[in-house]
Structure 1
């Protein structure tokens, strides 16, 4: 989003530079490098109207200045071998902001930058000037960072993009190649771990299925044993029941026999009593008792 805003801020100067002579091109360079929100310059630098300033006497230093704003830093400006135009306050502040982006995004730099390192690299006089620069860069969406004033550190999370010079492309390609190789290595490691996890899952599933089969077989065996024991117990119990019934019937038969035998014994007792009476029984008294005895026996049979 910040890059798009910077490109939009540069568009008016690109339009004004069309068919511009050297003097007008110098004025456009000065105003573009001072304009708020304008932080990319390669599109302007590539215009033929700007390119005509290279090797053109007094105008060449403005071309070099624009190139420093596009690809360089305050360190480049301070150590440039040939004279350059003096910087206005707005130009100086913007070049410091661009330099802070460069320091924060260098591959060799850490995401945490110390105050002494920044003060020395940016040629700033005081800690307050450095903190003001960092804060203004954050508000301009050039940096995402935090100030650790207690430990005098700047913790940078991300930076805006800057123009890329042609001579920087090979190193960028090499950096991207290293990054791609690391990504492939990590991806290969992840794929290997995934395959190991899949194999382990298959083995565990097989073990679980075998265990479940074994449990099912044991349950069937236990059930079969229980069914066999239950059927055997039923076969033994059936004859016992019929035997008891026979025994019961036997008891009733014996009981009825005893009752009949008792009747006969009573009858015999009566006969014996009749016999002890002597001849009277023979004349009819004894016979009457005998009939009585028979009657009693008959009653008992009923």
Structure 2
């Protein structure tokens, strides 16, 4: 799930600039306009403005409402309506949209029953219309799963972070960083082991190739020696055969001589 606040932050810039010079009632009016303005869904920079912070002493209810839109939900508003300014229809719808964003950042699939309860809506048709408006406003991306009565979320913008939640986020990031370091160390160990095994395998391959070369040389030498020995044997045999032939002829002559004497 991708979270991006750049678009809504850009829409807020004009109000942040105006807040530098707006005080008292003018600042209250500025807050009302920001809460109703299309495309403005984050309010952290406006809350950081000194003139807006001064509303705590003069117009606390408007500062509380701005905090509600920054961090709260529609259910928070219904729980204590006296703590906040009366919302216009556009402001009420925006707070409901922000409530959907909050739910979307916690779960990829949000049942209709949960949405109906959180948004204080009586029927599914009105709920689906509100969700479609939030999708067109580009603060969430997803689809309506009417078969399973749920909203499937693919994307949601990020909402403002309460100052007291920063330490929790920092701890989460540190834990995530530590986990990444452990995984990286494990990967590096595996790489070293793989390289070592590769080097051993290459060395063994070279040894085998050398053994093959030595065996070939030995076989070649043995074959050469056998070939030389066979040639010598053939010469000896031929000589012996020739000698035997001469002796045979002499024997035949002697035998003929004996016959004549008889």
Say how many residue pairs are matched. Answer: 247
Q: Which residue of 1 aligns with 2:185?
A: 188
Measure, in 2, the Cα distance between the counterparts of 1:166 and 1:19.
25
Q: Which residue of 2 aligns with 1:63?
A: 63
Q: Does 1:168 align with 2:140?
A: no
Q: What are the residue-to-residue correspondences of 1:35-114 with 2, within 5 Å?
A: 35-56=37-58, 59-80=59-80, 82-105=82-105, 109-114=106-111
The worse-fitting range, judged by mean Cα deviation, of 72-81 and 93-102 is: 72-81
Q: Which residue of 1 aligns with 2:143?
A: 146
Contact kept? 1:64, 1:84, Cα under 8 Å: yes
CA RMSD of aligned residues (A): 2.9
Measure, in 1, the Cα distance between the counterparts of 2:121 and 2:199.
65
Determine which structure has greater relative contact order: mean sequence separation of CA pairs < 8 Å that are 6+ residues apart, divided by chain length.
2
Contact kept? 1:2, 1:142, Cα under 8 Å: no
Structure 1 residues 209, 146: CA separation in 2 closer, same or farther (over 3 Å shift)? farther
Q: Which residue of 1 aligns with 2:223?
A: 226
SS in 1 for 2:55: coil
Contact kept? 2:140, 2:153, Cα under 8 Å: yes
1:10 to 12, 32, 37: 12
Measure, in 1, the Cα distance between the counterparts of 2:80 and 2:230.
112
Measure, in 1, the Cα distance between the counterparts of 2:229 and 2:170.
88
Q: Which residue of 2 aligns with 1:34?
A: 36
**Alpha-carbon deviation of 1:201?**
2.2
**Alpha-carbon deviation of 1:162?**
1.7
Q: Which residue of 1 aligns with 2:256?
A: none
Summarize deviations over 1:103-128 as a string: whole Å, max 9, x none: 222xxx33222222222222222222
SS in 2 for 1:55: helix
Contact kept? 2:19, 2:27, Cα under 8 Å: yes
Q: Structure 1 regions of 5+ residues with no counterpart?
A: 255-302
When Rg is computed on C-alpha atoms for both structures, the one with the higher figure is 1
1:216 to 205, 213, 218: 213
Q: Structure 2 regions of 5+ residues with no counterpart?
A: 251-262
**Alpha-carbon deviation of 1:92?**
1.3
SS in 1 for 2:152: strand
- State TM-score, norm by structure 1: 0.71
